[in-house]
Amino acid sequence: MIGIFDSGVGGLSVWREIYRLMPGESCLYLSDGAFCPYGPKDPAFIRERAAKISAYLIGRGAEIIVVACNTATAAAISLLREKFDIPFVGMEPAIKPAALHSKSGVVGVLATAGTFRGPLYLDTLARFAGDVRVVEQVGEGLVEAIEKGVFDSPEIDDLLHCHIDDMINAGADHIVLGCTHYPFLEKAIRRIAGPEIVIVNPAPAVAAQTMRVLSQRRKISCGIEESVFCSTGDITVLKMLVRREIPNVDNSIFTKVVI
């Protein structure tokens, strides 16, 4: 079983890529909705939550864990790899492909405050940004809207204009989605940014890395997947997003948990 967790439902953008790539693999997804969002929280708190959630996922049979949260990856993945004897796959800001393919020499990054202050982001920036100008923007309010199931509305457009207009005005030709929640706003982001802007979603690359790591341990399953989706908070939006990918799933695969 592949364990996957995020502060909320955003990590489902990674789960759906894993599901598309490995439809026979069972996943155990956990949304830490009771403590979402992670972005503004203290890194020590995030490390504590990540360790508790990882122990829970391992206890339920996870043999590999995907930290489908940029903020949690930045704060906790080193600790998790030291603490637990299974592989962890984390999120890496997709600055490298954006910088390599930018023609304008300007790249926008939309992320949480926790991601921007993390050493992983700063190291990636130092290694791959090179001569490219990076315009950073905290996506304030976006995670909260997605957790409420709001993906396309005038209010979302207003928020995105606040976050994206400066990137476009600076000449950015790529926008990197540095939070796993943001791919659920991709349609709205494309409308605001315009068709000429490349939206960089790292989720497919993370799914491919998960497959590589898992295939080193055993054969990829071709059987029938039996996935479970849990949340420490409300499960309404969790159900809705899973059913976008698999319409006829039974209610029994969704559970609320206390961790």
Which residues participate in catalysis according to the annotation? 69, 179
Distance of CA 85 to the CA centre of its chain: 23
Cβ contact 229:256 at 8 Å: no
Displacement of CA 10 from its chain's centroid (Å): 6
Strands 88-89 and 106-111: unpaired
Please, are residues 209 and 22 in contact by the beta-carbon 8 Å criterion?
no
φ/ψ (deg, to 5) at 196 = -80, -10
**By the 8 A CB rule, do 89 and 202 touch?**
no
